[in-house]
Amino acid sequence: MLRLTWVQPEDLIGHELRQAAQDGRDPSAIAARWRAAGGCEAPTRAGASPEPSSPYLRLLAEELLDELADLPDESARTEPTDLDRIKALCPNWPAPPQPADRRAARANDTRPPATTPARLEAAWLGRAVGCLLGKPVEKLPLHAVRELARATGNWPLGTYFTAHGVPADLLARHPWNRRSAANSLAENIDGMPEDDDLNYPLLDLLLLQRHGKDFTTSDVARLWLDELPAGRTFTAERLAYRNLLTGLEPPHTARHRNPFREWIGALIRADVHGWTNPGDPAAAAEQAHRDAVLTHTANGVYAAMFAAAVISAAADDSGTADVHGCLRTGLTVVPPDSRLARAVRHAVRLAGTHTDFDAVVDELHARYSPTHHWVHAVPNTALIAAALTHADGDFTGSVCRAVSGAWDTDSCGATAGGIAGLLAGDPAALPHRWTAPLKNRLSTSVADFDGTGFDALAHLTHREATRP
């Protein structure tokens, strides 16, 4: 029997109960009704429970999902989704750049402008490398990631994972990600395999080509229906896609029976918005917001805005960008009392306190793993910020730390890699052992991009970044 992941009501209810508790809504009475009826907890790693529920339980789950949506939500005051209300809560919302000031700041700088194809190619490559590094261990718990790497002498992480030398009993306990082992272990890499962490930047590139920077959320929705296969969507994106097909319009697509609306999906769509607004973090964050609200709310949207602003700051051509300043800029577009802002600030403090990054990760897991799913935006964004801070923006250090923290390994590695690659400034600045296996070739099911080189993608992105 087909067990379609991330959409079945009986699998969604457990996730919504957890999200309600995080929001400060009291789900206890509804949770008791679900359990008394024989309902199960949400799947911990997979997107679907192993066995189907009865028709009665499925109908009950749908009813309870709607009841949960009606519970009073006190968090909405400090964690709005509306852009104007977000801005009102951000006292340091960034001002637009002044062109004359930027030219003056650049006068004595010998580095090339941020929007050169070379810098964008380094960012694309960095995103691909980080994603590829994390793919084999996606969904594995922290101790499994560490054991698999240590078994081959690759701890602390310094290169791609390999199965060579891993004891059979260890692999039996902690098998590689089923979809990724065949194309993302060191011995199997032959170009960059398809991944949603690369599909979404391609879609956003298409979005800008067709609609420009003034695109609407409805433009995003139409593009997805035209170009994104439903089977290539997951979590919040899959539910928003389903909601579109049932006739709902944005932003209702993000809320209706969508317990994943604060997970990481919007964050992995943020890079192009930062790349195409160098030195203008406010514009980057606003673009990311219009994209994100198709599928996400509150902290899920903030994660995308934060990443877009960080990337925009890293792409600034003033010659003053450093990773710590970029992260501070990212926080200026996030409501300061939100859970995401608090988590990022906490992670940056930890990274500045501990010399051993494992200690940073252990503290983050102790705080967030008991209450948050491994794909939730709050802990994953915190981990990305901690990795970049602890590595001081170094490329290898950033991607390896982001992946070594477990949780959503390929997505964290991708975002950290894209930022660190952009700061590195040139493809030649990225170690050959990381980029050579990619063979300047990307596999994808998006439009006509299959087989495209990262150099070509950089030129296309540069065109959108400099378009009047």
Structural domain contains residue 149 = no
87 and 126 inside one domain: yes
Q: Which CATH number does the domain housing residue 259 bear?
A: 1.10.4080.10
> Which residues lie across from 442 on neighbouring strands?
192, 452
50 and 29 inside one domain: yes
Structural domain contains residue 131 = yes
- Residue numbers of the domain that contains 28: 9-77
Burial of 468 (0-12, 13-18, 19+ CB in 10 A): exposed
Predicted local distance difference test score (pLDDT) of residue 99: 64
Structural domain contains residue 119 = yes
Structural domain contains residue 443 = yes
Structural domain contains residue 179 = no
| Cα separation, 15 vs 65, whole angstroms | 10
Structural domain contains residue 359 = yes
Determine if the pTM surpasses 0.85.
Answer: yes
> Which residues lie across from 452 on neighbouring strands?
442
Output the tens digit of pLDDT for each of the chain's 468 residues: 577 899 999 999 999 999 999 999 999 999 999 999 999 999 998 899 988 889 999 999 999 999 999 999 888 889 999 999 999 999 999 998 876 555 544 444 443 345 799 999 999 999 999 999 999 999 999 999 999 999 999 999 999 999 999 999 999 999 999 989 999 999 999 999 999 999 999 999 999 999 999 999 999 999 999 999 999 999 999 999 999 999 999 999 999 999 999 999 999 999 999 999 999 999 999 999 999 999 999 999 999 999 999 999 999 876 678 999 999 999 999 999 999 999 999 999 999 999 999 999 999 999 999 999 999 999 999 999 999 999 999 999 999 999 999 999 999 999 999 999 999 999 999 999 999 999 999 999 998 999 999 999 999 999 999 998
312 and 250 inside one domain: yes
19 and 45 inside one domain: yes
Structural domain contains residue 156 = no
| Cα separation, 371 vs 333, whole angstroms | 25
If one counts every other C-beta atom within 10 angstroms of the C-beta of residue 29, the result is 10
Structural domain contains residue 427 = yes
446 and 319 inside one domain: yes
Q: Say if CB 397 and CB 390 are below 8 A apart.
A: yes
315 and 443 inside one domain: yes
196 and 71 inside one domain: no
Count of structural domains, the chain: 2
Q: Say if CB 40 and CB 96 are below 8 A apart.
A: no
Predicted local distance difference test score (pLDDT) of residue 468: 82
If one counts every other C-beta atom within 10 angstroms of the C-beta of residue 247, the result is 7
43 and 112 inside one domain: no
66 and 118 inside one domain: no
48 and 111 inside one domain: no
The last residue of a domain, from among 30, 48, 77: 77
> Which residues lie across from 11 on neighbouring strands?
none
351 and 376 inside one domain: yes
64 and 105 inside one domain: no
